[in-house]
């Protein structure tokens, strides 16, 4: 009786590999992605309280300037969009001077940080987090030292800009929330037109 040679069909394995490579981007139920929701304020010594994440793309700053994608990626009015939920795990902060800062301006900047608070509030939940702005910025030296008389280890400021949260703040679909940045002493006019961008970073779940 002749020996029967069994042929192995390798095509099935090939097709399974191709199918596996095509999976992961498109899902039937939705997406889970790393996401930052951001908004930006403009410093004015006549404004002691800034409210963010309530005025999206196409809205206006105080004074009338239009907000674009560089200013915010908030869509529409206050609240998370329908079909989206953001687990905020970190706060990101970025500061932009309108001109090259002098030592005196840097001191005004440090003074402003010490006199400013940052608050996240959710409608019906009141405050969900309160911090001093100096803590969030991660500045360990809040005075402007003279390099000639201060040791290098003291004269170096530590800027972090990303503040991880011990517990996530959950912004569920259609939840109304806002961030208040409040100066408890008027900021110096040398900081006028400087900008602070606030990012709420975490895991976004959204329907496809």
In a domain? residue 45: yes
Structure tokens at 33: 């992605």
Total count of residues recorded for the chain: 208
Q: Does a structural domain hold residue 85?
A: yes
Q: Which helix (H) or strand (E) holds 11?
A: helix 11-22
Query: Is 10 within a domain?
Result: no
Task: Calculate Rg over the CA atoms of the chain.
Answer: 25
Does any domain span residue 7?
no
- As a dihedral over the C-alpha atoms of residue 192, residue 120, residue 137, residue 197, rounded to 10 degrees, the angle is -50
* Among candidate residues 50, 176, 164, the one with its CA nearest the CA of residue 112: 50
**pLDDT greater than 60 at residue 1:** no
Q: What is the rounded average pLDDT of the residues 89-118?
A: 92
178 belongs to a structural domain? yes
Condensed to tens digits (0 to 9), the pLDDT of residues 120-153 reads: 999 888 788 999 998 998 876 656 555 554 444 4
**Confidence band for 17, pLDDT divided at 50, 70 and 90:** confident
Flag whether 19 is in a domain. no
Give the number of domains in the chain. Answer: 1
CATH of the domain at 50: 2.60.120
Per the structure, the complete domain to which residue 107 belongs is given by 30-207
Domain-embedded: residue 21 = no
């Amino acid at each position: 009786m002749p020996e029967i040679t069994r042929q192995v069909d390798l095509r099935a394995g090939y097709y399974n590999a191709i199918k596996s490579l095509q999976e992961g981007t498109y899902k039937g139920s939705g997406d889970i992605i790393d996401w930052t929701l951001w908004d930006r304020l403009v410093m004015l010594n006549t404004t002691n309280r800034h409210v963010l994440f309530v005025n999206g793309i196409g809205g206006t700053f105080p004074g009338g300037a239009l907000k674009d994608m560089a200013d915010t990626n908030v869509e529409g009015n206050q609240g998370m969009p329908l079909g989206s939920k953001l687990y905020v795990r970190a706060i990101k902060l970025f500061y932009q001077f309108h001109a090259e800062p002098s030592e005196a301006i840097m001191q005004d900047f440090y003074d402003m940080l010490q006199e400013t608070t940052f608050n996240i509030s959710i409608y019906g939940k009141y405050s969900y987090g309160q911090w001093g702005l100096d803590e969030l910025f991660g500045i360990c030296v809040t005075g402007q030292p003279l390099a000639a008389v201060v040791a290098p280890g003291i004269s170096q400021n530590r800027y972090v800009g990303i503040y991880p949260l011990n517990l996530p703040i959950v912004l569920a679909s259609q939840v109304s929330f806002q961030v208040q940045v409040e100066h408890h002493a008027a900021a110096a006019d040398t900081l006028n037109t400087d900008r602070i961008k606030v990012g709420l970073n975490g895991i976004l779940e959204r329907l496809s």
